[in-house]
Chains A and B, each alone.
Chain A
Amino acid sequence: MPTVAELYKKDLDKLIKPGIHFLDGNTATAEGAITAGCRFYAGYPITPSNEIAEYMSYRLPQVGGKFIQMEDEIGSIMAVLGASAAGVKSMTATSGPGFSLMQEEIGLGSMMEIPAVIVDVMRAGPSTGIPTLIGQGDVLQAKYGSHGDYEVVAYLPANPQEAFDFTIKAFNAAEKYRVVAIVLSDQLVGHMYGKVRVPEYDEIEIVERPKPTVPPDQYLPYDSRYLVPPMAIAGAGYRVNNESLTHTDKGYPTTDRDASFKLVMRLVRKIRENEREIAEWEEYMLDDAEYVLVSYGSTSGSVRRAIKILRAQGYRVGMLRPKTAWPFPGWVVENLASRGVQKFITVEVNMGKMFHVVKEFSRGVPVEHIPYAPGYIPDPDYVVNNVVKVIGR
């Protein structure tokens, strides 16, 4: 796999330098995107993601990229998909209300198999909610928000370091699988400052979309002999019909039963068959844990402290922290359930989202949720008190 050092030789002096930096999560996200090769950004102002757009408008021209502030979020994601179709790695950033508006185009990106990255800096909802405060309510929307069957890849950074790293991973996944990849950041991650170590350029691996190797007359844009077909970009001479309607391998609209099913199968298989390669998670004090707290994003920091307090009180608790919401590492939950865990307890800033996903894999082991959605992450004490209650139930 090529590295930043090989791919962006000419631009290396314009990239963020390897070494230790002190950055907020939103800036780290933007620098991660540029390091990954993002050269186009389209977005619409929305709190608490604005620092990403502002920073990209400043940084992209320095690296030969382009920035546009569109008329709305739908226009933003469409411009991103258009720019990517022309061969430029592209992204947008938004928050809950804007992310909701983009759902139809997540379906379009999935159907046309155009790589793109959306950063969703989650805030409190529903509706306009509390723009300046955290929520974690978009976890299910990220996968199920658009109609029809498709798959996304979605990362859950918990600090500025992961905001940097996971944005690069999101670009790599988007390009490798030709899907829409999402960075599910949150208001606290976006605004917290922290240490970010930028690896040496020859340590950062970059994935680029598969390119066609056959001449135009033999090329099929949605060639079902591949799980991820090579992608011809606009203007390259392949002259193909890129189709949002259910289509054949050739890109022609179809209502044929076999062709339709074959397409939808491939769109989900390309992620489902690679879920073990894509999914990432952290296991914290799980070795002897009887009770597994499932938490992610900035909330996991509070849960980590709560586990230390609970351990000191004699409770055998640990944390499973998914780093990818999608694909969800369900087999890890299954293994823990089979191993004899007593209970799973989800701790998220919502009224129960990943709770349902954990339940899907818990093999009958009880799953409980600690509801919390006031625009703040729960204090460690709040987690401790509620875990004790749940354990005693």
Chain B
Amino acid sequence: MSVEAEVTTTGIKVELPKSYEDIKDLIRIDRLPHIWCPGCGLGILLKLLARAIKNSGIPIEKHVIVTGIGCTGRIGGYLKLDAYHVTHGRAIPFAVGLKMANPELEVTVVGGDGDILAIGGNHFIHAARRNDDINVIIVNNFIYGMTGGQYSPTTPKGAKTTTSPYGHYENPFNIPLLAYAAGASYVARWSVLHQNELYQSLLEMFKVKGFAVVEVLSPCIIYTDRNAMGDAVDLVKILKERSTIDHNANLADLDIDFSMKKIILGNFVKRERPVSYEK
């Protein structure tokens, strides 16, 4: 069963599954199949994000997606929206310029942990401090996937990567705590397994006035392979079995260590805070 079948720019005939019926006008079908690995969570996020945009109550043509570099950075190119695929780490300041120049735009940045928090870390904390009225989705797969599995700012201490073959020596960021401390108005964390909760959170993100951050835990085959966790599906299993939902969790308790024994999800922060460029 399919809603659309056409020969794409990749030369492959693609049939969009029935579950995409409601959002087929938001997907660039002519670009499919996408580049992501089997088991990757980005396809799920693509679908949920498209659905949240469709049902956001904001005209579709006012939605703008800005992405940087990495696996996650490719998400804008599959959405039939005004999308800007810019340089590594710099999606946030580009989004700030878009929003300031035209406040009617609903600007959403989507990036990976390396893109947003390493090379783009300075932009992230300052946009949160100013409380710029943009959305940032951080897809956290604990690693640099596209470049082949180097450690990232969220790689847990002890994890093996292509640049930490003896186990990672550094501590990772606690993304919700960082976003809150820097000043974000809205902070949530979900996994691609928690589709309904994530979808609701994305809808909420569009409603929030100010800097909204949604961390999305997403499996990565490059990460799981190297750390003997099995395949991407096995990481999903870990997320399923070990995650708990606690909206009122102490943000300082949200660290995810290598054992992945404690993974807390939830809509943690929603607060009114003055937005930049509004008196």
B2 at the interface (CB under 8 A from A): no
Specify the main secondary structure of chain A where it touches its partner: mixed
B97 near A79 (CB under 8 angstroms)?
Answer: yes
> How far, in Å, is A107 (CB) from chain B's closest CB?
8
Q: Smallest CB-CB separation from B90: which chain A residue? A: A78
Is B64 interfacial (CB-CB < 8 Å)? yes
For residue A236, which residues in chain B have a CB less than 8 angstroms away from its CB? 61, 82
Q: Is B194 an interface position by the 8 A CB rule?
A: no
In the complex, per-residue mask of A88-116: 1 if CB is within 8 Å of any chain B CB, else 0: 10100000000000001101100010000
Q: Given the interface contacts A235-B62, A242-B83, does A79 sit within 8 Å of B100 by beta carbon?
A: yes
CA–CA, A104 and B28, complex, Å = 29
Q: Mark A111-127, 1 if CB is under 8 A from B, else 0.
A: 01000000000000000
Query: Known contacts being A235-B104, A244-B85, A245-B85, is A90 close to B122, with CB within 8 Å?
Result: no
Contact B98 A85 (CB under 8 A): yes
Q: Does A72 contact B (CB under 8 A)?
A: yes
| Smallest beta-carbon distance B115→chain A, Å | 13
Give the complex CA separation of A253 and B69 in angstroms.
13
User: Could you say which of A72, A235, A241, A248 contacts B76, with CB atoms under 8 Å apart?
Assistant: A241
Q: Which residues of B contact A72 (CB under 8 A)?
A: 122
Q: Please state if B28 and A241 are interface contacts (CB–CB under 8 Å).
A: yes
The docked-state distance in angstroms from the alpha carbon of A104 to that of B119 is 13
Q: How many residues of B contact A (CB 8 A)?
A: 36
Q: Min CB distance, A154 to chain B, in Å?
A: 21
Q: How far is the CB of A40 from chain B (nearest CB, A)?
A: 6
Give a binary string over A297-338; 1 marks a CB under 8 Å from any B CB, 0 the rest.
000000000000000000000000000000000000000000
Q: How far is the CB of A179 from chain B (nearest CB, A)?
A: 17
* Min distance, Cβ A75 to any Cβ of chain B, angstroms: 4
For residues 114 through 173 of chain B, which have their beta carbon under 8 Å from a beta carbon of chain A?
122-123, 126
Cα-based distance from A78 to B100 in the complex (angstroms): 12
Residue count of chain A within 8 Å CB distance of chain B: 44
Q: Is B9 an interface residue, CB under 8 A from the partner?
A: yes
A196: Cβ under 8 A from any B Cβ: no
Query: Is there an interface contact between A71 and B122, defined as CB atoms closer than 8 Å?
Result: yes
Q: How far is the CB of A94 from chain B (nearest CB, A)?
A: 15
Instruction: Please pick, from B28, B77, B81, B98, the residue contacting A82 in the complex, using a CB distance under 8 A.
Output: B98
Which chain B residues lie closer than 8 Å to A90 at the CB level? Answer: 97, 101
Is A239's CB within 8 Å of the partner chain B?
A: yes
10 CB-based A-B contacts, threshold 8 Å: A75-B90, A75-B93, A78-B86, A78-B97, A78-B123, A79-B94, A79-B96, A82-B93, A86-B101, A105-B90
Which 8 pairs across A and B sit closest by C-beta, in order of nearness? A82-B97, A79-B97, A78-B93, A86-B101, A83-B101, A83-B97, A75-B93, A82-B94
B interface residues (Cβ-Cβ under 8 A, vs A): 9, 28, 31, 60-62, 64, 66, 76-77, 80-87, 90, 92-102, 104-105, 122-123, 126, 277
